[in-house]
Amino acid sequence: MSIVYSEAGSTADLRNRLLQPDRISGSEILLRSLLLEGVECVFGYPGGNVLYIYDAMHGNPDFKHLLTRHEQGAIHAADGYARSTGKVGVCIATSGPGATNLVTGIATAYMDSVPLVVITGNVPSPLIGSDAFQEADITGITMPITKHSYFVRNVEDLARTVREAFYIANTGRKGPVLIDIPKDVSAALAEFVYPETVSIRGYRPVAEADEAQIDALLDAIEQAERPVILAGGGVVYADASAELLEFVSRTEIPVTTTLLGLGGFPSGHELSMGMPGMHGTYTANMAMTEADLIISIGARFDDRVTMKLDGFAPHAAIAHIDIDPAEIGKNVKTQYPVVGDIKAVLNLANRKAKRAARAESWLRRIQQMKIEYPLVYKDSEQELKPQYVIQMIGEMTGGEAIVTTDVGQHQMWAAQYFPFRRARSQITSGGLGTMGFGLPSAMGAQIGNPDKLVISINGDGGMQMCAQELAVCAIHQIPVKIVVINNGVLGMIRQWQEIVYEGRLSHCDLAGSPDFVKLAEAYGIKGLRATSKEEARRAWQEAMEIPGPVLIDFVVSQEEFVFPMVPQGKAINEMILGGEQ
């Protein structure tokens, strides 16, 4: 596709040229610094207070920028790029509304520990605090949702600031860092000196774990009768999937994987129990209820996993491995804390890890539950079921794809029914639950992984929140396969209103939504529609044969719910199973 870029930015010649101590503008300092950090593509949208920066991009063959159609599209694309590659995503926007349009995306990345460097322009320094045109205190606005923020007052500080921002974003518990640059700073001149090292007072992220903490955990595992591993997004972010697989093979402990952890442990493994929590599997939820030891590895015990806290894991001691000490003991009392980088912790643990004491009977219990209570839904030959669509896509791709989702019922069906086998193959907004995330995050994932199949699964609600980014897919021929699970309603809202609010449906009807096939065609993208199983398979096959972007509108049943479901206020073993159970 036309947006794939060369590796020129990583060559020694380019690096030597970039490091020349020239006297250049703040804008040129910024671009050089980003290139020296290995940035392959910046996602952005220009405006008055970043025009010096955009002017510096003009004619620069080394610097690559993707113009989105909305600032929220830019930051979600940077997010998808970061999650799918493990690199830092970068986006840029102007001051005022440009900057505030990034706020939802910053919060999305912050909640899910995604490394981003977010660059905003601001009004010239003399106008700061005067309510100037398009002025907004973006550092103040985003303070609760960034790992760190910089307001650059002097051009001499800009190179150091960029260096530090990347270091902070991508070390320890990862997250977004904001750099706000007044317009006059981007225009001012300074000698370019890029720091070789970073030293930040008060910032010393923990990497190596205390071996005594690991030994205590391993002793607890050997004594446990019903242990469970809760694997979260931290496994993925630490690139520790191989280490987790070895740990499980040594200990023979069954694994449940959180929404953000999907792919961190192979879904087809015999010890995989699927996802836990509100829409978790029967096996995962009952295993945690019956467990005598739960080992959280990079999972933060959020409310969608634990549900009613005083009913969560009533018989279990809790072990928690996490790089962020603030997470340990925050939501559940922890008996075995292990602070450190998950990859490093598991490497140490794997030297000594042994099988749990009574693994045989516990594993038989797990397998029995998996057989008796699988994920099921009532299939139909008369109407297209959304679960069937997800299963069909998983089957026809062999699970070999990066899948991004928006937020809603389709997100949960994808988590339940798509066979995620590898880390960084599932991209979704977990903590914040941001509608509109699906399509732009897929664009970023595709740019970061040009040789992989990227599938964007969306509901008909979220699809309309960033649909303008279809233009970017068309212009650059970004070959994302865009799935719309179209049930004509805000599905998860309707499900809650039916089950929790006694059938009082209130403002969840999406009547008046566009014809998605025509919408895709209006942007210059091939559009397909399926209303039956046969049409669905045929449409997907056709989409796979088209080299560029394709949108497939799967018209599905409006009555379908996501099961199992644990209503709020209930414990995780109090599931509504639905389906045919």
> Which positions are catalytic?
71, 133-134, 183, 492
Q: Of all helices (H) and strands (E), which one includes residue 553?
A: strand 550-555
| 456 bridge partner residues | 404, 482
Which residue in this structure is represented by tokens 């159970």?
A: 581
Tokens of 469: 């980014």
- Terminal Cα-to-Cα distance of the chain (whole angstroms): 47
DSSP conformational letter for 312? S
Given its phi and psi angles, is residue 56 left (phi above 0), alpha (psi -120 to 50 degrees) or beta? alpha
CA distance readout (Å), 367 to 274, 275, 357, 364: 12, 15, 18, 5
Distance of CA 33 to the CA centre of its chain: 26
Is the distance from CB of 441 to CB of 427 less than 8 angstroms?
yes
Tokens of 547: 């080299």
How many C-beta neighbours within 10 Å does residue 533 have? 17
DSSP 463-485: GGTSGGGHHHHHHHT---EEEEE
Angle between helices 409-417 and 386-397 (to 10 degrees): 40
Give burial (CB, 10 Å; 0-12/13-18/19+) of 325. middle
Which residue in this structure is represented by tokens 């023979």?
A: 252
Give burial (CB, 10 Å; 0-12/13-18/19+) of 77. buried
CA distance readout (Å), 130 to 123, 125, 137, 188, 558: 10, 10, 11, 21, 52
Residue 125 and residue 128: Cα distance in Å, rounded?
A: 5
C-alpha torsion 466→467→472→474, nearest 10: 160
Residue 256 and residue 269: Cα distance in Å, rounded?
A: 11
* Of 452, 476, 399, residue with least CA distance to 81: 452
**Strand, coil or helix: what is 507?**
coil
CA distance readout (Å), 291 to 154, 233, 313, 328, 563: 56, 21, 7, 19, 23
